[in-house]
């Protein structure tokens, strides 16, 4: 039970008028109070296993009044019963700089709180309130510290290690260093707004970067914000979450290579690099992405079944891709490495991050992009994959089959090839006409 104001005053009176230690008063029991002889006994133990020492303390008139008033009734006066009413709340030790004056001031504050009906009417309540206040201050200080972490610090120390296993790490790091860091690298998360993102977009547009490249940079920023929020570093709204922040992309490759153009290109590349030639030939004959080719290990190449196993793809699921006879012959002519060795290793045996400049030089050498200004019509490495799909569709392969061979997430991604197969719509119309038979709707006339 919390000590009443009167109890607090009595406690302080006994402590102050007897010059006793607080611990001694706390240990005072009714069996040690002798009203007839007008004294009480204080017992102390200096160490845990030391003997108990006793002191006989004479009672002053004031101390006697206090103890008599607080003494239990005769029927409750059991031997050994502690004077708990005198010990309900302790202030502290004199070694903690508690003095009588300080104690009386604390008592006055408690009495005032009781009079006004405010919180903190007992020492326990005041301590609980103070503890809660300090905990809240600590929480706010920690939140402020976390929100003050610069974007660049979190990107370097948290985000990059987080995406160590991502194939796109090198590109994300390069994109960040070139376009993102100069604008928001030094800012804490809470200060970054859409204005800063618009500045990134403006800088990239000024450098004539494609909408897809700009969206990629913004996507990196969005991913960093999401990770910061997951780790409770940032608690606000992700500024890249709004759809209007991203640019509309219209960068689908419209041009594909004829077999004759591809053959001429491969001959030129082969003069410069056998490895680049093999990589390009593989993409043209299987539709594999550059990243999928760079990640191939020898255990993924099965020339017996004629299948390539493509794992950890962009679409998020694995798939098997058949080889043409030319590709099987190509792999058979290569020196096969260990099962987990890369088929086309990069520098120091690591996964390549991009195709060699040999490809671009060969395109320039044979003039495939001469006079072309529309980037969608220019030949790039991805054009090989696009050409593979285009020739399949023109040869009558169903779009759903092409979609699965390319590893598209949805059939919608393959629909852009539908214009290459107009016969599909013609055949569909003929099926409809056949279903009509010789039926002629009533009243239908041919206007001449």
- For residues 412-426, average pLDDT: 60
Of 50-64, 209-223, 307-321, 406-420, highest mean pLDDT: 209-223
**Domain at 259-428, CATH homologous superfamily:** Intergrase catalytic core (1.10.443.10)
Q: Mean pLDDT in the chain?
A: 79
| Domain residue spans of the chain | 5-123, 151-245, 259-428
**Whether pLDDT at 46 is above 70:** no
* C-alpha distance from residue 72 to each of 9, 10, 110, 281, 389 (Å): 18, 15, 26, 102, 98
Q: In this predicted structure, which of 6-15, 117-126, 222-231, 359-368 has the lowest mean pLDDT?
A: 6-15
123-147 and 100-116 helices cross at what angle (nearest 10)? Answer: 90
**Whether pLDDT at 5 is above 80:** no
Measured distance CA(269)–CA(356) in Å, rounded: 11
350-379 per-position pLDDT tens digit: 888 889 999 999 999 999 989 888 877 888
Of 61-65, 82-86, 326-330, highest mean pLDDT: 326-330
| Cβ proximity of 325 and 302 under 8 Å | no
- For residues 385-392, average pLDDT: 85
229-259 per-position pLDDT tens digit: 888 888 778 888 766 666 665 556 667 888 9
Separation of first and last alpha carbons in the chain: 107
Q: Which two tokens stand for residue 273?
A: 């690099």
306-349 per-position pLDDT tens digit: 999 988 777 667 888 999 999 999 999 999 999 999 999 988 88
The structural architecture, per CATH, of the domain 151-245 is Orthogonal Bundle (1.10)
What is the percent of the chain with per-residue pLDDT over 70, rounded to a whole number?
Answer: 74
**pLDDT computed for residue 131 by the predictor:** 86
DSSP for residue 136: H
* C-alpha distance from residue 209 to each of 136, 375, 380 (Å): 47, 11, 16
Confidence category of residue 3, pLDDT binned at 50, 70, 90? very low
**Whether pLDDT at 129 is above 90:** no
Confidence category of residue 431, pLDDT binned at 50, 70, 90? low
Mention every residue, 6+ apart, whose C-beta is less than 8 A from residue 269. 276, 277, 280, 358, 359, 362
- For residues 255-265, average pLDDT: 89
**pLDDT computed for residue 182 by the predictor:** 95
Q: In this predicted structure, which of 209-223, 262-276, 297-311 has the lowest mean pLDDT?
A: 209-223
**pLDDT computed for residue 200 by the predictor:** 92
**pLDDT computed for residue 267 by the predictor:** 94
**pLDDT computed for residue 421 by the predictor:** 58
């Amino acid at each position: 039970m919390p000590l009443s104001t009167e109890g607090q005053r009595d406690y302080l009176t006994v402590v102050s008028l007897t010059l006793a230690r607080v611990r001694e008063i706390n240990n005072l029991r009714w069996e040690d109070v002798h009203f007839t002889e007008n004294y009480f006994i204080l017992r102390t133990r200096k160490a845990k296993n030391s003997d108990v020492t006793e002191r006989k303390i004479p009672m002053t008139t004031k101390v006697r009044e206090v103890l008599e008033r607080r003494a239990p009734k005769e029927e409750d006066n059991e031997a050994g019963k502690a004077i708990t009413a005198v010990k309900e709340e302790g202030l502290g030790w004199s070694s903690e700089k508690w003095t009588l004056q300080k104690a009386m001031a604390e008592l006055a504050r408690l009495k005032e709180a009781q009079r006004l009906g405010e919180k903190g009417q007992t020492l326990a309540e005041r301590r609980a309130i103070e503890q809660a206040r300090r905990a809240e201050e600590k929480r706010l200080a920690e939140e402020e510290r976390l929100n003050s972490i610069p974007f660049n610090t979190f990107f370097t120390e948290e985000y990059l290690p987080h995406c160590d296993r991502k194939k796109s790490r090198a590109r994300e790091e390069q994109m960040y260093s070139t376009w993102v860091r100069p604008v928001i690298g030094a800012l804490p998360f809470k200060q970054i707004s859409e204005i800063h993102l618009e500045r990134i977009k403006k800088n990239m547009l000024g450098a004539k970067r494609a909408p897809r490249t700009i969206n990629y940079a913004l996507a990196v920023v969005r991913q960093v914000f999401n990770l910061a929020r997951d780790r409770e570093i940032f608690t606000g709204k992700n500024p890249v979450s709004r759809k209007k922040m991203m640019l509309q992309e219209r960068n689908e490759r419209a041009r594909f290579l004829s077999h004759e153009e591809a053959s001429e290109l491969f001959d030129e590349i082969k003069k410069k690099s056998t490895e680049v030639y093999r990589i390009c030939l593989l993409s043209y004959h299987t539709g594999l992405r550059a990243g999928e080719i760079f990640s191939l290990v020898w255990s993924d190449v099965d020339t017996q079944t004629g299948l390539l196993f493509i794992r950890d793809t962009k679409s998020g699921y694995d798939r098997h891709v058949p080889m043409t006879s030319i590709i099987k012959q190509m792999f058979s002519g290569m020196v096969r490495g260990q099962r987990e060795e890369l088929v086309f290793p990069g520098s120091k045996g690591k996964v390549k991050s991009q195709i060699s400049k040999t490809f671009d030089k060969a395109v320039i050498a044979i003039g495939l992009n001469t006079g072309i200004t529309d980037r969608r019509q220019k030949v790039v490495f991805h054009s090989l994959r696009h050409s593979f799909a285009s020739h399949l569709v023109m040869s009558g392969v169903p779009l759903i089959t092409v979609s699965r061979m390319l590893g598209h997430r949805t059939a919608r991604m393959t629909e852009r090839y539908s214009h290459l197969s107009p016969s599909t719509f013609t055949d569909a119309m003929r099926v409809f006409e056949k279903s009509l038979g010789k039926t002629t709707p009533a009243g239908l006339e041919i206007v001449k």
